[in-house]
Amino acid sequence: MKNKIVDSHCHLDFDDYSNDLDTVIRNAKLNDVEYLLSISVNLEKFKTIHNITKKYKNIWCTTGIHPNNVQKNISDDQFESIIKQLKENINKPKVIGLGETGLDYFRESNNKINQIKLFEGHLEISSLTNKPVIVHTRNAESDTISILNNFTKKKNVRGLIHCFTSTKEMAEAALNVGFYISLSGVITFKNAKDLVDIVKYIPTDKLLVETDSPYLSPVPNRGKRNEPSNTKFTLEKLAEIKSTSVENMAKITTDNFFSLFKEI
């Protein structure tokens, strides 16, 4: 295949790859997955991720705090210091986005107030720097929609909903505020019929593909450790859903990625 594929969301700093990261990255290339965006989930490991981007030309990263890593209690001083660190990180070379941030009431809802506060903090920095925000949302659709709607009424912000497995209302709301929608291996799962129906409705010029590796390995590798090379299976399924060739879908999703992450 001549068209290159982007894995727009992977976690290369996770311990799952501590023994064979070189091989994993080589394997991605061998499968035409040429560009990787490694996503931060906390501030503690930002340096590790950033070092990976320094070592490999084809890898970029983000800075952010996953909603499940948000503390229940954050003082005003701590909040200020988090925002300051995010602002410092985002200005470093090869750091092209904010996140992942957002809301997750599935695993944790007793830190709701701070999840919301930090989500808005990421949106604010994203808007200030014009770097896209990567949004995670799980069991929190209505709050996610109202925060995005309210924020975009006041300010410009660009971004995407990552690992989309949500409702049609969530997809519509994201598209209405100009966001992209990134699909993971979940679309290849047998029980993904409702999701596939929603994907049919999403315009192709708003779609990206990702692995969210090491999680969510697509069919036929379901259950095994996921890695960026598996983006091709998600892309194949997406091409099938959209009744086009894999080549064409690779070109479209890669072009979409570069339109969103303009600075690369």
The residues of the shown chain that bind Zn ion, judged by CB under 5 A, are 212
Tell me the closest approach of the beta carbon of residue 77 to Zn ion, in angstroms: 28
Amino acid, res. 253 = T
What's the CA gap between 148 and 36, in Å, rounded? 26
Strand partners, 183: 209
Q: Which residue is nearest to Zn ion (CB)?
A: 212
Nearest 5°: phi and psi at 131?
-100, 135
Q: Which is nearer to Zn ion, 212 or 227 (CB)?
A: 212
Q: Which is nearer to Zn ion, 14 or 151 (CB)?
A: 14
Q: Which is nearer to Zn ion, 18 or 73 (CB)?
A: 18
Q: Which is nearer to Zn ion, 13 or 212 (CB)?
A: 212
Nearest Cα neighbor of 183 from 139, 143, 240, 223 is 240
What DSSP state is assigned to residue 250? H
Tell me the closest approach of the beta carbon of residue 59 to Zn ion, in angstroms: 15
What DSSP state is assigned to residue 154? H
Q: Which is nearer to Zn ion, 32 or 212 (CB)?
A: 212
The helix (H) or strand (E) run that includes residue 207 is strand 207-209
Tell me the closest approach of the beta carbon of residue 97 to Zn ion, in angstroms: 12
Tell me the closest approach of the beta carbon of residue 159 to Zn ion, in angstroms: 14
Instruction: Give the angle subtended at the CA of 158 by the CAs of 2 and 169, to the nearest 5°.
Output: 95
Tell me the closest approach of the beta carbon of residue 210 to Zn ion, in angstroms: 8
